[in-house]
Structure 1
Amino acid sequence: MAKIILNKSNYFHNLKTIETHLGSKDKIAVVLKDNAYGHGLVEIASMAKEYGIKKAVVRTINEAEKIETLFEQILILADTDIHSCSHTFHIAINSLEDIEKLPENTNVHIKFDSGMHRNGISLDKLEEAIHGILRKKLNLTGAFTHFRSADELSCELFWQKSNFDEAKNLIKTLCEKLFIPVPNFHCANSSALFRFKNYDYDFARVGIAQYGYLDTDSIFDNPTLKPVMSLWADKIVTRILKENQRVGYGGKYMAQEDMKISTYKVGYGDGFFRLNGEQKYLTPKGYEILGKVSMDNLSINCDDEEVCIFNDVRELAKIHNTITYEITTALKEHIPKEII
């Protein structure tokens, strides 16, 4: 079967790098949505807790419930169907309509649309939103935005930051007028965080960087991070593939001479993206995945009892013309996790 190994030393290295940049681990909120980007929600949350992280970010209430006891504050980004009450949970308000869906005394963070134009409340609706929060007797505990181009060489990051700062000042003014506490402000994701030399907001939402990757233009002074995840698979069977014989669907790979090959228990049914035999991919030991990846298995030119399929997904991201996030997040939740 397949398994995922999580390297705690690498994870702590990444958190230390982030902490050093921010100046305090209290300013780190680890983003654990979508099964911690495929790494395992509970496993990563437990390591973050051990390191001393107090804030987390998830997508749904169900995710938050699984890690409720591990953090002091959990921001829920995309769920207003409140079926669980916890003082730990803070719900993101993405629209004025969201305010009407929430029960009294819910902790909320306003999401401000600073220019991504995907989710969030516009500047001209902020006052209406805050009055709505008061009317519904919700607790305004945070305000945030999300940057659309922090990973690219452009001035858009600073344009959005300027818009957010305008919203921040307006929210502070309104809170003072209405005699309610000023909320926490946060805006940086992983890419934005390392482009800011002095991050002066209350905390940052750190996603992919904690897992060892940063898909930011190499022109920036990016930190050295260490991938946390490696994917392994057990052997099913070994055989001799004779010269000119082909293996797998479509016979995409043909042996140039007699060779020993083995089939291993992992495939695209486990979320390992389907290699189609057009581009060569080598495992960390230098073995080649032969031909097309099947739903539940793949063939490799070795006979090891278990093999590491990857310990760094950047090469796979290039082959599939995508980002590191997609390679890791695609891995299925059923794959067992082991922390070393």
Structure 2
Amino acid sequence: MAKILLNKENLFYNFGVISKQAGSVEKVAVVLKDNAYGHGLLEIATLANEFGIKKAVVKSIDEALVIEKLFDDILILAQKDIHTYSHAFHIAVNSLDVIETLPENIKVHIKVDTGMHRNGVSPKEIEEAFLGLYRRNIQVTGVFTHHKCADELTTDFYWQKAVFSRVKEDVKRICEKLLLPLPAFHSCNSAALFRTSNFDEDFARVGIATYGYLDNAGIFKFPKLKPVMSLWASRLASRVLKKGQSVGYGGTYTASEDMSVSTYDVGYGDGFLRLNEKNKYTTPKGFNVLGKVSMDNLVLNTQEEEVCIFDDVHALAEIHDTITYEITTTLNPNIKKEII
């Protein structure tokens, strides 16, 4: 049976590197949205709790309910209909019009659009947002933004930091006027954290670095992290492929000599995407994926009972012309997970 192995030692190593950069483990919020980037929501949340992390970030209340007892504070990024609530939940306010739909007496973080132009109120709307929430007895516990180019060599990163610095000053003024406590400020994702010297915000939202990846890390000389996930497959059947015979849909691979091949129980239905035949993929142990990946299986030139399909997705991300995030989050959440 196909399975995902989660390396606890590697995860804790990454948490250690991240905590050092942030200044302390208290300044780390682990991002667990979309099934912890495919790694398993409850599994990673449980390990993060064991490491001592007290803050988490998820997409929905349903995700938050799964991990509610493991964290003191859980920021929910994309929930408009609040069907249940907890003292640990903080709802992201992504626009002014959502304020009137929120129930009273909840806690929120206001998202400010500092240049990504995706979600968030504009810097000019921040006071209006505070006043609208104040009238509804909603407590503002955070103000945050998101960087659009933290992992790219552009000036946008510094420009957004400057905009958010002005937002912070405006928020301090507003809170003083309304006699409100200052909210937590946070802007850094994984790449932004590692591009920031002397990190001084209340916490960083760390996603992909948790799982061992920092795209474009070489440009900025980011620290080396360790991938947490490996994907394993079990043998279904073996045969001798004769010279001249082809295998799989379309017969795109033809044997140049007699060879032993086997099918394994991982395919694109499990989230291991079809290879485009222009780039060949080789497993960590040196086995080649032969022909097209099927929905439920693929073919390798081995007869081993169990094979590691990947333990680092950089090569697959390059083959598919995408980012590491997409390779891991695409995996079927029903694949069995084991912590090693």
Please report the TM-score for the alignment, with normalisation by the length of structure 2.
0.99
Q: Would you say the 8 A contact 1:150–1:216 is kept in 2?
A: no
The one-letter code sitting in structure 1 at the alignment partner of 2:42 is V
- Matched with 1:165 is 165
- Partners of 1:216 and 1:325 in 2: CA distance: 13
**Equivalent residue runs for 1:1-340 within 5 Å:** 1-340=1-340
The one-letter code sitting in structure 1 at the alignment partner of 2:218 is S
- Partners of 2:53 and 2:160 in 1: CA distance: 27
Cα shift readout 1:299-334 (whole Å, capped 9, x = no counterpart): 000001011000000000000000000000000111
- Partners of 1:307 and 1:332 in 2: CA distance: 18
Shift of 1:217: 4.9
Q: Would you say the 8 A contact 1:276–1:291 is kept in 2?
A: no
Identical counterparts, % of pairs: 62
Shift of 1:97: 1.1
- Partners of 1:252 and 1:260 in 2: CA distance: 17
The one-letter code sitting in structure 1 at the alignment partner of 2:80 is T
The residue matched to 1:185 in structure 2 has which SS? strand
The one-letter code sitting in structure 2 at the alignment partner of 1:293 is V
The residue matched to 2:118 in structure 1 has which SS? coil
- Partners of 1:279 and 1:150 in 2: CA distance: 29
Shift of 1:45: 0.3
- Partners of 1:216 and 1:87 in 2: CA distance: 38
Q: 258-267 vs 275-284, which deviates more?
A: 275-284
Shift of 1:22: 1.2
- Partners of 2:197 and 2:246 in 1: CA distance: 55
Q: Would you say the 8 A contact 1:152–1:217 is kept in 2?
A: no
The one-letter code sitting in structure 1 at the alignment partner of 2:37 is Y
The residue matched to 1:57 in structure 2 has which SS? strand
Shift of 1:278: 2.4
The one-letter code sitting in structure 1 at the alignment partner of 2:126 is L
The residue matched to 1:294 in structure 2 has which SS? coil
- Partners of 1:185 and 1:123 in 2: CA distance: 14
- Partners of 2:217 and 2:304 in 1: CA distance: 37
The one-letter code sitting in structure 2 at the alignment partner of 1:64 is A
The residue matched to 1:210 in structure 2 has which SS? helix
Shift of 1:23: 1.3
Shift of 1:280: 1.1
The residue matched to 1:67 in structure 2 has which SS? helix
The one-letter code sitting in structure 1 at the alignment partner of 2:178 is L
Shift of 1:276: 3.1
Shift of 1:221: 1.8
Shift of 1:232: 0.4
Cα shift readout 1:60-79 (whole Å, capped 9, x = no counterpart): 00000000000000000000
The residue matched to 1:133 in structure 2 has which SS? helix
Cα shift readout 1:233-288 (whole Å, capped 9, x = no counterpart): 11100100000100000001110100000000010001111113321110000000
The residue matched to 1:157 in structure 2 has which SS? helix
Gaps of 5+ in 1: none
Q: Would you say the 8 A contact 1:153–1:217 is kept in 2?
A: no
Moved over 6 A (4+): none
- Partners of 2:207 and 2:223 in 1: CA distance: 15
The one-letter code sitting in structure 1 at the alignment partner of 2:67 is I
- Partners of 2:113 and 2:198 in 1: CA distance: 23
- Partners of 2:196 and 2:161 in 1: CA distance: 11
The one-letter code sitting in structure 1 at the alignment partner of 2:151 is D
Gaps of 5+ in 2: none
- Partners of 2:85 and 2:325 in 1: CA distance: 31
The one-letter code sitting in structure 1 at the alignment partner of 2:55 is K
Shift of 1:80: 2.1
Q: Would you say the 8 A contact 2:23–2:199 is kept in 1?
A: no
Cα shift readout 1:69-92 (whole Å, capped 9, x = no counterpart): 000000000002111120000000
The residue matched to 1:177 in structure 2 has which SS? helix
The residue matched to 2:220 in structure 1 has which SS? coil
Q: Would you say the 8 A contact 1:276–1:293 is kept in 2?
A: no
The one-letter code sitting in structure 1 at the alignment partner of 2:51 is Y
- Partners of 1:277 and 1:261 in 2: CA distance: 18
Q: Would you say the 8 A contact 1:277–1:290 is kept in 2?
A: no
The one-letter code sitting in structure 2 at the alignment partner of 1:57 is V
Please report the TM-score for the alignment, with normalisation by the length of structure 1.
0.99
The one-letter code sitting in structure 2 at the alignment partner of 1:179 is L
The one-letter code sitting in structure 2 at the alignment partner of 1:3 is K
